[in-house]
Structure 1
Amino acid sequence: MEKFDAANPFGEFTKMLEQFKLPGFDVPAIMEARRKDVEALVTANQTAFQGMQSLAQKQGEMLRTTLTELQALASTGGAASPQAAELVQQTLHKALANMQQLAQAAYQSQAESYAVIQKRVEENVEELRTLMQQKK
């Protein structure tokens, strides 16, 4: 048995199906369509992973900023000052704005991943139409 070729994972499967020579069954076209499906899934996963990385980086930046601000407040003795209530309110508003940014970034990442999958589904439908028209 030959070694598995990661560059062409459908090679062995294609050879096996071509042995049967079924009429109206275009093995190379079907295997090419499945290859495109796998590529679309890989692209969607890469997009989702990049989105998660971006979210993690933003969360880290937000945490560093908040800790820096708290450290500055504590070092100046500002926690006991009359402006503390205003500072807490500003911090809460900033935290809510940051949460909204994270939610929007997550939504964008998911939308981009979904778009990749949706495009491949549309291509599959078009490929099926073409195959069905060729049989007529």
Structure 2
Amino acid sequence: MEPFDAANPFAEFNKLFEQFKLPGFDVPAVMEARRKDVEALIAANQTAVQGIQALAQKQAEMLRSTLSELQEVAQKQAATGGVPSAQTAELVQQTLHKALADMQQLTQAAYRTQADSYAVIAKRVEENVEELKTLLQKK
């Protein structure tokens, strides 16, 4: 028995199905279609992972920025003797507004990632329908 080829996992299935010849059943075409399905899933997963990584990096960047700004405000507050001023309140409010705007950006980035992943799968579903039409027209 030959060793399993991880680069071409469908080779084993091709050999298996070719042993059972069925009239009107194109084994190579079916296996090629399934291979494309797996490739589409891999591409969708890669898109999702890249999006999640970008999202996590953006989140960490936003957290560092917000904490840095709040630390500045706290240091200024401590230097003035701890009495809050209108300027301090304004700085805190601006920092919080910025944090909310950053969260909105994260939400939009997550939505784009999901939409990109969905587009990969939708494209493969559309290709499957076209392949099925072609197979049925051959008969």
Residue identity opposite 2:2 in structure 1: E
* Residue of 84, 87, 95 corresponding to 1:83: 87
* Deviation of the 1:88 alpha carbon: 2.1
Match of residue 32 from structure 2: 32
Hey, what's the Cα distance between the residues in 2 that align with 1:14 and 1:64? 53
* Deviation of the 1:84 alpha carbon: 2.0
**After TM superposition, which residue ranges in structure 1, 4 or more long, deviate above 3 angstroms?**
none
Alignment of 1:27-106 (within 5 A): 27-77=27-77, 80-106=84-110
Return 5+ residue gaps in structure 1 as ranges. Answer: none
Aligned residues: 135
Residue identity opposite 1:60 in structure 2: A
SS of residue paired to 1:83: helix
Aligned-residue Cα RMSD (Å) equals 1.2
Residue identity opposite 1:74 in structure 2: A
| Higher RCO (CA 8 Å, separation ≥ 6 residues) | 1
* Residue of 108, 114, 123 corresponding to 1:110: 114
Hey, what's the Cα distance between the residues in 2 that align with 1:102 and 1:65? 15
Moved more, 55-64 or 73-82: 73-82
SS of residue paired to 2:86: coil
1:12 aligned to 2:16? no
**What is the CA deviation profile of residues 54-109 of structure 1, one whole-angstrom value per residue up to 9, with x for unaligned ones?**
10000010011011112211222276222122122212211111111000000000
Hey, what's the Cα distance between the residues in 2 that align with 1:98 and 1:12? 50
Return 5+ residue gaps in structure 2 as ranges. Answer: none
Give the % identical residues: 76
